[in-house]
A and B are shown apart, each in its own frame.
Chain A
Amino acid sequence: MPISRLKTSIAVVTALAAVLLIAACGGGGSGGEAKKGGTLKVLDTAGSIDSLDPGYWYYQSDYQEVGFTTQRWLYGWKPSETKPTPDIAQALPKQSNGGKTVTVKIKSGIKYSAPLQSRTVKAADIKYALERCFLPQVGNGYANLYYSDIKGVAAFKSGKAKEISGIQAPDAQTLVINTDKPAGVLTGGGALGMPCTIPVPKDYAQKYDQGKQSTYGQHQVFTGPYMIQNDGKGKITGYKPSQKLVLVRNPSWDKASDFKPAYFDRINITCCSDATVAAKQTLSGQNLLSGDYAAPPTPVLKQALKRTKDQLSITSSGGNRYISLNTTVKPLDNVNVRRAIAAVIDKTALRQTRGGPTLGTISTHFFPPGADGFEEGGGTKGPGFDFMSSETSNVALAKSYMKKAGYSSGKYNGPALLTIADNVSPAKETAEAFQEQVKAIGLDLQFREVPHATMLTKFCQVPKAKVAICPNLGWGADFFSAQSLIAPLFSGENIVPSGNVNTAQVNDPQLNAKINAAKQVTDPTKAAKAWAELDKDVTSQAYFIPWLWDNNVSLESSNAKGVPSKFNSGAFDYAFSALK
């Protein structure tokens, strides 16, 4: 999952926060007695969800506010677990045919909300849900990453086929997926624990999937414990974009087959509060939990740490922050220059710009804690590269790398390097600190600050823009998958003209081959090893300089118990949270 939502950048940038060491409130069962019932109030600060369409959901607030609460997925995620839990599925997927066939049995008796209240979920509904994720009308952002190995996807995308031949529903309870080559993300079930597996009844939905953009979201039917308030005839009434979202109990919900407790009777989400005000209101009010993934502003956080520490939930977000160095721009094509930059930056000082140790642990390698392969890649200690081992600036080491790169004085003396930074606090301050630090090795930056979305879509993610350094990037894993951390960012096959997340523009045939091989490893232990090896490779090459493993800071009212979801970067899972 992207470490910050691309779309709403206001609070998001301020969002990611603090430390796994303080993972005080992890897990479901800890803390006070959970009470059934009551109304939960949530104050969003960053714009709430962007779309009602399950096929679109991909961001923290999507999962938090509608994904976990209103729909059941083929596989779900218990808050404190890093492995998928069968939800609509009866059990974890079975693989055969050398990992190229995945079979999932689904539960019977799961019903839709009105107007389809008499209809149960069938395997074909999930097949259609997966297919529509490739429709441009839906605008899904990850199907291509995880499902493109499925047979027939290419033909479907090009419009030559009406269905994806590799997805079959031989009967109502069986879903069979055939791939061209083994795909670890499917056999492990991880990629089947994504909102593309939320069942969508084709005969009902197809009429809404026509035209320029799908309107199924506004007419969708729900399978989860809650539903967005609607008129019972297939029209949603409880949603006003960037204003309010009202969730009520779904009478069709099959509680017996679901693992979610769903304590609240009703969830009222209002957007868009000022972050400072919302934090105050949550801390001093009743029935409130943090909303869309915005960390409280530093002054509020400091005060809360002093006075109301038990109302803070600080957990590792499973994401990292890094400085991206474009390997196609001189002198960054030289690995020793990149290493020199890694050695010269003062990560502690960079973290200070975000608010200090509460907001995260200093990275020693690329994989963030919680991701598959993190331990194998060296854990917190890291693989031990000298340029990554100091938490502060090591100018002598940096200069020695510069000498190795051919700069005899230890200082760069070429033209200024185009650097595009975020223009909002605290990212802006981070970038400015970076700019100061690299002066020690003579690096002169052509420094520009632009809005977050512009930074990404017009500069850092556009190869043509030839940006040398992007100091304000971040990334997190989808479903803890190591593949999701490596493949999109470092595979040369993924360099695209726009929306390019391989911002270093790494295109090393050897690395590409290694990535493709790792993707096909279906044994979880072997896969972790393979990906950890890649983690070491990319860290060693210093394409990106990771500097912070982020923490998420959430707030709760004194009478509310929020349960952070590891899957969702530490944001509260409202289906597990409750009043005390």
Chain B
Amino acid sequence: MVRYIIRRLLWVVVLLFLVSFITFLIFYALPSADPATLRAGRSPNPQLVEQIRHNLGLDKSLPHQYFDYMKRLVLHFDFGYSYQNNISVKQQILDRLPASISVAIGSAIVFLITGIGVGIISAIRRRSLLDRATMGLSLVSISAPVYWLGLVSLYLFASDIGKFPVPFLKGAGSYVPFSQDPSIWFQSLLLPWFVLAASFSALYARLLRANLIETMSEDYIRTARAKGLSERRVVFRHGVRSAINPIVTAAGLDLGVLLGGTILVETVFNIPGIGRLAYDSIQNSDLPMIQGTVLIGALFIIVANLIVDIMYAFLDPRVRYS
């Protein structure tokens, strides 16, 4: 197991290296704006553009630029400086990380609780009115665009612009760091959590329902019933225990993706997270920032993968790594 983890960690490094390389290639292969001209203003003189190009190191050959970048990254863990505002990329990412983590983990909690709850009820009350209603609703929320859902939720319930304002549902732009005011932090994140969780909840509910229905026809469920267990215990300790494994795996991976930033939710609710930073940096052709946000996102996803794989060995004793 330890050897397995070490081997996987080495892969993490290789993958991140590849990700950075591909990001770099894409940036130059696709038509993105020219950072030097962008910085030079409306009617720049060519010398100024060239000088800015030189200052940003853009006049060197592409392999050279990439080598420089990787050297700084590997030797000094330095992600460079934003072309846009000349502030350290690492600093800006670290600055925005707590917001993205707050959004991701909170919504993961919400979608796990609601998704699992609804999934179990639908599975054991299969074909009931409740089952049909929740599964129908889940289709709607899977297909509802997050952006639209965010706007609607704000228009309906936000304490500032809502038609039916709920005092503890703070509107867009009310996010403050947890360390500053936990209560406002919580209230400002409630809507984003639910909006982001909506489609995940629905997806997880459907997934769990399908898994559980399948599991409930397994032989060992018959054994559990033959033992004289209560139906409740049969469902939860025997059925759900098996059916939940794929959910835990998927949730781990989804959380990894969410931690890397959630552009739409961060935009609608104006939460200063990584997603918005990544989006802006692409708009601004801010390569160091693009690299930084892509790498941090990739890191989350890769590490989430690793953790999920390791966790799986604990969830399912039949799985062994070597």
B45 touches A272 (CB 8 A): no
**Which A residues are closer than 8 A to B by beta carbons?**
1-2, 6-10, 43, 47, 50-51, 58, 136-137, 139-142, 144-145, 148, 157, 212-213, 215, 240-243, 270-274, 276-278, 280-281, 284-285, 450-451, 453-454, 456-459, 461-462, 488, 494, 496-499, 501
B46 at the interface (CB under 8 A from A): yes
Contact partner of B37 (CB less than 8 A), chosen from A9, A43, A142, A461, is A461
CB-nearest residue of chain A relative to B34?
A457
If the complex has contacts A9-B283, A215-B86, A276-B151, are A501 and B43 also in contact, measured as CB distance less than 8 A?
A: yes
| Contact in complex: A141, B55 (CB < 8 Å) | no
Residues of B with C-beta under 8 A to A8: 280, 283-284
Chain A positions within 8 Å of B15 at CB level: none
**CA A462 to CA B145, docked complex, whole Å:** 38
Choose from B36, B92, B270, B284 the contact partner of A274 (Cβ within 8 Å): B270
| Contacting residues, chain A, for B86 (C-beta < 8 A) | 51, 213, 215
Name A139's contact: one of B34, B48, B54, B87 (CB within 8 Å).
B48
Q: Is the CB of A498 within 8 A of B55?
A: no
B49 located at the interface, meaning its Cβ lies under 8 Å from any Cβ of chain A in the complex? yes
Smallest CB separation, A321 vs chain B (Å):
16
CB distance A499 to B160 under 8 Å? Answer: no
Residue among B40, B43, B44, B87 facing the most chain A CB atoms (10 A cut-off): B43
Can you list 5 contacts pairing A with B, beta carbon distance less than 8 Å?
Answer: A10-B280, A141-B41, A213-B81, A454-B285, A499-B49
Contact with A along B24-53 (1 / 0, CB 8 A): 000000011110111111111111110110
- Contact flag A457-B38 (CB < 8 Å), given A141-B44, A284-B160: yes
- Which of A10, A456, A494, A498 sits near B49, CB closer than 8 Å? A498
Whether A274 and B172, one on each chain, are in contact in the complex, defined by CB atoms closer than 8 angstroms, is yes
Known: A9-B283, A281-B160, A458-B34. A136 touches B55 (CB 8 A): yes
CA distance A450 to B45 in the complex (A): 25
Shortest Cβ gap from A446 to chain B (Å): 15
Instruction: Assess whether B239 is interfacial by the CB under 8 Å rule.
Output: no
Asked whether any CB of chain A lies closer than 8 Å to the CB of B245, the reply is: no
Which are the 6 A-B pairs with shortest beta-carbon distances?
Answer: A141-B41, A453-B33, A136-B51, A457-B34, A457-B33, A488-B43
B32 touches A494 (CB 8 A): no
A141 and B34 form a contact (CB under 8 A): no
B interface residue numbers (CB < 8 A to A): 31-34, 36-49, 51-52, 54-56, 81-82, 84-87, 92, 95-96, 150-151, 154-155, 160-161, 171-173, 267-270, 272, 276-277, 280, 283-285
Set B38, B52, B55, B272: member contacting A242, Cβ < 8 A: B272
A202 to B171, CA, bound (A): 45
Q: How far is the CB of B291 from chain A (nearest CB, A)?
A: 17
Interfacial chain B residues near A454, Cβ < 8 Å: 31-33, 285
CB distance from A264 to the nearest CB of B (A): 19
Do residues A7 and B272 form an inter-chain contact, with CB atoms below 8 A? no
Which chain B residues border A148 with CB–CB below 8 Å?
Answer: 45
Interface of A: prevailing SS: loop
Find A453's partner among B81, B96, B171, B285 (CB 8 Å cutoff): B285
In the complex, the answer to whether A281 meets B47 with C-beta atoms within 8 Å is no
Judge whether B42 and A501 touch: CB under 8 Å.
yes
CB distance A273 to B46 under 8 Å?
Answer: no
Give the distance to chain A from B289, nearest Cβ to Cβ, in Å: 10
CB B103 to nearest CB in A, in angstroms, measures: 15
Contact between B43 and A274 (Cβ–Cβ < 8 Å)?
no
A141 and B161 form a contact (CB under 8 A)? no
Is the Cβ of A450 less than 8 Å from the Cβ of B31? yes
Residues of A within 8 A of B56 (CB): 212
Verify B33–A496 contact, CB threshold 8 A: no
User: Is the beta-carbon distance between B52 and A10 smaller than 8 angstroms?
Assistant: no
> How many whole Å from A269's CB to the nearest CB in chain B?
11
Q: Please give, as numbers and ranges, the residues of chain A lying within 8 Å of B285 by CB-CB distance.
A: 453-454, 457
Q: Are A453 and B49 in contact, with the CB atoms below 8 A?
A: no
Task: Return chain B residues, CB-CB under 8 Å to A241.
Answer: 82, 84-85, 87, 92
Q: Which of A157, A273, A499 has the most CB of B within 10 A?
A: A499
Pick from B38, B270, B284: contact of A272, CB under 8 Å: B270
Judging by beta carbons under 8 Å apart, are A142 and B41 in contact? Answer: yes
User: Measured between alpha carbons, how far is A8 from B39 in the docked complex, in Å?
Assistant: 11
Residue of A51, A273, A280, A494 touching B85 (CB-CB under 8 A) = A51
Bound CA–CA A47/B103 (angstroms): 21
B276 with A142: CB separation less than 8 A: no
B95 near A497 with CB under 8 A, answer: no
A141 in contact with B42 (CB, 8 Å): yes
B43 and A451 within 8 A (CB): no
Q: Which residues of chain B come closer than 8 Å to A243, judged between CB atoms?
A: 96, 272
In the complex, what residue of chain B is closest to A476 when comparing beta carbons?
Answer: B42
Residue of A whose beta carbon sits closest to that of B286? A7
Residues of B within 8 A of A136 (CB): 48, 51-52, 54-55
Nearest opposing residue in chain A for B43, CB measure: A488
Known: A272-B276, A273-B173, A488-B43. A456 touches B33 (CB 8 A): yes
In the complex, what residue of chain A is closest to B44 when comparing beta carbons? A499
Verify B43–A499 contact, CB threshold 8 A: yes
Kindly provide the distance from the CB of B42 to the nearest chain A CB, expressed in whole angstroms: 5
User: How distant is the Cα of A2 from the Cα of B40 in the complex, in angstroms?
Assistant: 13
User: Other CB < 8 Å A-B pairs besides A242-B280, A277-B172, A494-B43, 8 of them?
Assistant: A136-B51, A139-B48, A241-B87, A270-B270, A456-B33, A496-B49, A498-B34, A499-B49
In the bound assembly, the distance between CA atoms of A240 and B161 in angstroms comes to 26
B43 A141 Cβ-Cβ under 8 A: yes
By CB atoms of chain B within 10 A, which of A58, A240, A241, A450 has the most? A241
Task: Please indicate the chain B residues that have their CB under 8 angstroms from the CB of A457 in the complex.
Answer: 33-34, 37-38, 285
The docked-state distance in angstroms from the alpha carbon of A242 to that of B172 is 15
Q: Which residue of B lies closest to A502 (CB)?
A: B43
